[in-house]
Amino acid sequence: MSAPQIPTPIIAPSILSADFARLGAECSETIERHGADWLHIDIMDGHFVPNITFGAPVVTAIRSHVERPSNKKGRGTFDCHLMVAEPKRWVKDFQAAGCDLYCFHYEAAINSTAAGSPAGTTDRRTSPRELIRFIHEHSMQAGIALKPETPVDVLWEILENEVEEERPDMVLIMTVNPGFGGQTFMASELPKVRAVRDRYPTLDIEVDGGLGPKTIGQAADAGANVIVAGSAVFGAQDPGEVIRGLREVLVGRKGG
Ligand SMILES: O=C(CO)[C@@H](O)[C@H](O)COP(=O)(O)O
Ligand SMILES: [Fe+2]
């Protein structure tokens, strides 16, 4: 019997901490010069979280600076983290913009069921399963994110679904309350990572918020293989050095 396939270590700098005045160059340098795997792109709508970033047009603009990945989850993947109240609403726009992985919040998906479908708009009603299917139908991978306040148990029935198209490609466990970069890492969220890893040895598990050289060891020990780091990378004198250091820790604990 062959050993289970251990998920690939992935470093995904969050461009929320990049210099927005030179965003295209920051994105291409982060991948090509500094050696990051993915770009983590935080989309905030001012409703789901108390902050606003940008939408699909900016993703289109930066896509022209970063080559599309040649394989699923490859270098240059646009990992879009949708902190928005109506996650179904933006799927088509993000597909067109060049998003590869559309990661929505569980809390938004269950609440947007009540949002209804105003005349002349697409149907905004959804459930996590339906939304995952919808994202897959739009040729993107699907991620599902949990806020710190949400218990990990809500994931089991979603991950245990026998219908492959309705299962997520990645789980994102937030290690800060979503909304802002540069917050303090919440180690209290790591048991969620461990719980998912124990059940799903090959699933991509992303952690996001407060990750950097001092906190990555704990996240890797808990079983995370996709590390988002914003301020730690973009605030560094040498982002490439930080990325290499993060990767070393992750590779060293791979499978742990
Ligand atoms: O989604 C979010 C915040 O809501 C994150 O992606 C942050 O942007 C990560 O920034 P750092 O905590 O690494 O500075
Ligand atoms: Fe994020």
CA gap 174, 106 in Å, rounded: 12
User: Which is more confident, 111 or 63?
Assistant: 63
What's the gap in Å between 42 CA and the centre of ligand 2? 5
Q: Average pLDDT, whole number, for the chain?
A: 93
- For residues 171 and 204, is the Cβ–Cβ distance under 8 A? yes
How far does Cα 128 stand from its chain's mean position? 16
Residue 241 pLDDT greater than 80, yes or no: yes
What's the gap in Å between 96 CA and the centre of ligand 1? 24
The pTM of the full predicted model, rounded to 2 decimals, is 0.94
DSSP the chain: -PPPPPPPPEEEEBGGGS-GGGHHHHHHHHHHTT--SEEEEEEEBSSSSS-B---HHHHHHHHTTSPPPSSTT-TTEEEEEEE-S-GGGGHHHHHHHT-SEEEEEHHHHHHGGGG---TTS------HHHHHHHHHHTT-EEEEEE-TTS-GGGGHHHHT-S-GGGS-SEEEEESS-TT-SSPPP-GGGHHHHHHHHHH-TTSEEEEESS-STTTHHHHHHHT--EEEESHHHHTSS-HHHHHHHHHHHHHHHTT-
Closest ligand relative to 231 C-alpha? 1
- For residues 222 and 179, is the Cβ–Cβ distance under 8 A? no
ipTM given for this complex: 0.99
Q: What is the pLDDT of residue 179?
A: 98
15-73 pLDDT per residue, tens? 999 999 999 999 999 999 999 999 999 999 999 999 999 999 999 999 999 999 999 99
Residue 120 pLDDT greater than 50, yes or no: no
What's the gap in Å between 220 CA and the centre of ligand 2? 18
Q: Is 179 in the pocket of ligand 1 (CB under 6 A)?
A: yes
How does residue 253 score in pLDDT terms, banded at 50, 70 and 90? confident
Closest ligand relative to 175 C-alpha? 1
154-196 pLDDT per residue, tens? 999 999 999 999 999 999 999 999 999 999 999 999 999 999 9
CA gap 124, 70 in Å, rounded: 32
Percent of the chain with pLDDT over 90: 89
Residue 119 pLDDT greater than 80, yes or no: no
**Of all protein residues, whose CA lies closest to atom 8 belonging to ligand 1?**
181
Name which of 16, 19, 39, 34 is nearest 206 in CA terms: 39
